[in-house]
Amino acid sequence: MLHSYKEIPFKSINQVDESEDDKEENKDLVEKIKEILPEEVVNVKISENLSEDVISMIKQRGDVSIEMEKTLKSQVNAPDIKAQKVLEINKNSKAYELLEKDLKENSDEFKMIVNILFDQAKLIEGLEIDNPLEYAKNIWKLI
């Protein structure tokens, strides 16, 4: 099997490059988001790679992909196996600006925005959200 091309190893576009973790910006923001979502994400990345998207959860670590998680959840008596997700937030988005502002000014709204963004990322990836009613209420609170 072909593992590289011109000494550049092949890897999944959805796989996190471990060297990217060293380039974290906004440590306070990242740590606070990880504190709010400790069971859901292994890391948070602030990125300029997302052109129009506000948030993405396409990257993962480990052996279980998000697609594998969805497949396992659809099985009868399936084990509760989850992909190790990395949440990527667009640095050029309005949501990022709100997060930065609310980090210092309003911790309740910050937590609400983080939960909305995480639920949006799950929906985009085709995963179920834990509490659709809370998601809808939180959106209306922000409007």
Each residue's pLDDT, cut to its tens digit, for the chain (143 residues) gives: 677 888 888 766 555 554 454 455 588 899 999 999 998 998 888 888 777 787 877 666 677 778 888 888 788 887 778 888 888 898 888 889 999 989 888 889 999 999 999 999 999 888 889 899 999 999 999 88
Sequence-ordered list of residues with C-beta below 8 angstroms from that of 10, at least 6 positions apart, any chain:
2, 3, 4
Which residue shows structure tokens 């593992």? 3
Question: What's the pTM value of the predicted model, to 2 decimals?
Answer: 0.78
Closest residue by Cα to residue 41 from 60, 17, 64, 13: 60
DSSP 8-state code for residue 142: H
Start-to-end CA distance of the chain, whole Å, equals 53
H or E stretch covering 49:
none
Q: For residues 96 and 50, is the Cβ–Cβ distance under 8 A?
A: no
DSSP 8-state code for residue 74: T
